[in-house]
């Protein structure tokens, strides 16, 4: 029996994939697994009883990923599952920034009682006129699941697309339209583009990337779109550049007091992934990842442990060990098990940075003493008998 808790509402389409071996609990302290969207887990005390966290979405800056790795808690996300939802909103953002649709709609609302509204609208519409995106240069910083979709869609709409991503994955590269111009440095994006959209994760290395210096390199009247995270930009500097006219519009999916209500800023209340399709895709992927981990010990799409897949346990028992990626671990594990007279039927060891994961199928049940001995190995964070 496994227990899970949801820290945010999670689509029923995903939750219904939990078998009758699972029950939902309210308390984090009672849960083996956690499903979460944007709830700030960095402010929570995560109990040792938690085995895994499934982020139904992409960004994991709300989860203390490194602390979890240290404790042996495996954190998953759902790569690409909400990318199309975000892509569509970015396109909408570009259009909203180019034509004063919001101003026009508000004007209609304000004049709704006027019996001559039709005539009046024809007279007034010139104040809401704008420009087209076709033929303009779009710079995309980060060509992952979202950035690459935005690139292809913008290309199809007639934009000249520049992409910058020094860590571009092979999959993303294959999916990218050949018309996308490969920018080898981000300065080219700043200097050349009329629209700049950012799609990188929030990391120490990307925080405040769009700062005063970056803005100073940009073209006059540039439009900046931020559907990734507000902390990627120095928004005080952006507001200043909006006031001076250097930036034409800032479209952001993240509300905060710095940008809310400011002239030239279009703030959307974090709706990028709020579509029925994205919510379902994310929930389904997260639940499948958690189930495979809890039931088989397999890891797919973790952000703090390596991928590891041994299928379904065919031996008598399976043990999963999270540990530090240091020498001599495997030999210590096999000695402990060998001393107990146990034969390893199958095993996999994978590493990722400072951490590693070992899965072992045994021909017999593992005695409690052997588990305790494995737990006491220096560098082991967690030993779990999966079966
Ligand atoms: N507004 C919303 O509702 C949503 C926002 N997001 C945000 O968007 C971010 C990106 O999402 P995905 O595209 O799904 O992630 P992804 O992991 O597929 O793509 C991120 C890309 O950024 C690149 N990158 C990393 N550091 C970079 C740097 N310094 N310069 C240029 N490129 C760099 C990586 O190589 C990768 O290709 C997420 O981390 C999240 O913060 C994601 C989904 C929904
Ligand atoms: O997936 C992401 O990174 C998002 O920002 C989406 O957040 P949400 O699941 O809508 O709270």
- pLDDT category, 313, cuts 50, 70, 90? confident
The alpha carbon of 344 and the centre of ligand 1 are apart by a number of angstroms equal to: 40
Q: What is the mean pLDDT of the chain?
A: 97
- Our mutation pick for probing the ligand 2 site, out of 272, 279, 280, 284, counting the most ligand atoms within 8 A of Cβ, is 272
Q: Is pLDDT of 348 > 90?
A: yes
Mean pLDDT of 95-121: 98
Q: Which residues pair with 321 in a beta bridge?
A: 358, 383
- Please name the residues in contact with 257: beta carbons below 8 A apart, sequence gap of 6 or more: none
Phi-psi region at 29: left, alpha or beta (left = phi > 0; alpha = psi -120 to 50): alpha
Helix (H) or strand (E) holding 255: none
ipTM of the complex: 0.99
Q: Is pLDDT of 253 > 90?
A: yes
Query: What was the pLDDT predicted at 314?
Result: 80
Q: Is pLDDT of 217 > 90?
A: yes
Measured from the Cβ of residue 2, the count of other Cβ atoms closer than 10 Å reads 17
Measured from the Cβ of residue 70, the count of other Cβ atoms closer than 10 Å reads 15
Q: Is pLDDT of 315 > 90?
A: no
Helix (H) or strand (E) holding 252: strand 247-252
Query: What was the pLDDT predicted at 222?
Result: 98
Half-sphere exposure of 316 (CA within 13 A, CB side): 9
- Please name the residues in contact with 376: beta carbons below 8 A apart, sequence gap of 6 or more: none
Of 71, 117, 113, 50, nearest to 323 (Cα)?
71
Estimate the crossing angle of helix 83-98 against helix 101-110, to 10 degrees: 70
Q: What percent of the chain has pLDDT over 70?
A: 100
Q: Which ligand minimizes its atom distance to the CA of 201? A: 1
The alpha carbon of 55 and the centre of ligand 2 are apart by a number of angstroms equal to: 9
Identify how many contiguous H helices and E strands the chain contains and give both numbers.
Answer: 13, 16
* pTM assigned to the model: 0.97
- pLDDT category, 229, cuts 50, 70, 90? very high
Tens digit of each residue's pLDDT (9 = 90 or more) over 132-176? 999 999 999 999 999 999 999 999 999 999 999 999 999 999 999
- pLDDT category, 78, cuts 50, 70, 90? very high
Tens digit of each residue's pLDDT (9 = 90 or more) over 28-72? 999 999 999 999 999 999 999 999 999 999 999 999 999 999 999
Tens digit of each residue's pLDDT (9 = 90 or more) over 330-339? 999 999 999 9
Q: Which ligand minimizes its atom distance to the CA of 282? A: 2
Query: What was the pLDDT predicted at 153?
Result: 98
The alpha carbon of 145 and the centre of ligand 1 are apart by a number of angstroms equal to: 7
Complete DSSP assignment for 27-91 = -GGG-SEEEESS--GGGS---TT--EEEESSS--TTS-HHHHHHHT-EEE--TTTTHHHHHHHHH
Ligand 2: lining residues by beta carbon, under 6 Å: 37-38, 57-59, 82, 270, 272-274
Half-sphere exposure of 43 (CA within 13 A, CB side): 4
The alpha carbon of 146 and the centre of ligand 1 are apart by a number of angstroms equal to: 7
CA distances to 127, 136, 222, 248 from 130, rounded to whole Å, are 9, 13, 14, 12
Closest-CA residue, ligand 2 atom 5, reads 59
The alpha carbon of 199 and the centre of ligand 1 are apart by a number of angstroms equal to: 4
Question: What domains can be seen in the chain, in order of their start residue?
Answer: 1-81+273-305 (3.40.50.720), 83-96+131-267 (3.40.50.720), 308-387 (3.30.70.260)
Is residue 3 a contact partner of residue 32, using CB atoms and an 8 Å limit?
Answer: yes
Ligand 1: lining residues by beta carbon, under 6 Å: 57-59, 79, 82-83, 86, 141-147, 164-169, 172, 199-202, 205-206, 227-229, 253, 270, 272-273
């Amino acid at each position: 029996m496994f227990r899970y808790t949801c820290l945010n509402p999670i689509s029923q389409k995903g939750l219904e994939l939990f078998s009758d071996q699972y029950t939902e609990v309210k308390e984090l302290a009672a849960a083996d697994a956690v499903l979460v969207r944007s709830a700030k887990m960095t402010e929570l005390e995560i109990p040792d009883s938690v085995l895994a966290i499934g982020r139904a979405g992409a960004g994991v800056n709300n989860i203390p990923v490194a602390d979890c790795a240290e404790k042996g808690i495996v954190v998953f996300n759902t790569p690409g599952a909400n990318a199309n939802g975000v892509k569509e909103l970015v396109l909408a953002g570009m259009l909203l920034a180019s034509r004063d649709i919001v101003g026009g709609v508000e004007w209609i609302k304000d004049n709704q009682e006027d019996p001559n509204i039709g005539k009046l609208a024809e007279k007034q519409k010139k104040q809401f006129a704008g420009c087209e995106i076709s033929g303009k240069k779009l710079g995309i910083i980060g060509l992952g699941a979202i950035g690459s979709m935005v690139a292809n869609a913008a290309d199809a709409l007639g934009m000249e697309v520049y992409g910058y991503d020094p860590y571009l994955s092979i999959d993303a590269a294959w999916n990218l339209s050949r018309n996308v111009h490969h920018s080898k440095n981000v300065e080219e994006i700043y200097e050349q583009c009329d629209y700049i959209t950012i799609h990188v994760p929030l990391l120490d290395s990307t925080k405040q990337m769009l700062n005063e210096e970056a803005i100073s390199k940009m073209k006059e009247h540039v439009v900046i779109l931020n559907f990734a995270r507000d902390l990627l930009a120095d928004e005080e500097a952006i507001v200043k550049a909006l006031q001076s006219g250097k930036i034409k519009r800032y479209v952001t999916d993240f509300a905060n007091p710095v940008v809310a209500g400011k002239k030239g800023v279009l703030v959307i209340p974090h709706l990028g992934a709020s579509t029925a399709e994205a919510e379902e895709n994310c929930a389904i992927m997260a639940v499948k990842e958690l189930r495979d981990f809890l039931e088989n010990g397999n890891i797919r799409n973790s952000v703090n442990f390596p991928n590891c897949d041994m299928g379904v346990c065919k031996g008598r028992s399976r043990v999963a060990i999270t540990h530090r990626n240091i020498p001599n671990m495997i030999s210590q594990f096999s000695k402990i098990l060998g001393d107990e007279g146990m034969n390893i039927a199958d095993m996999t060891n994978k590493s990722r940075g400072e951490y590693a994961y070992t899965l072992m199928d045994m021909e017999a049940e593992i005695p409690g003493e052997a588990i305790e001995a494995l737990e006491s190995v220096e560098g082991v964070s967690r030993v779990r008998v999966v079966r």
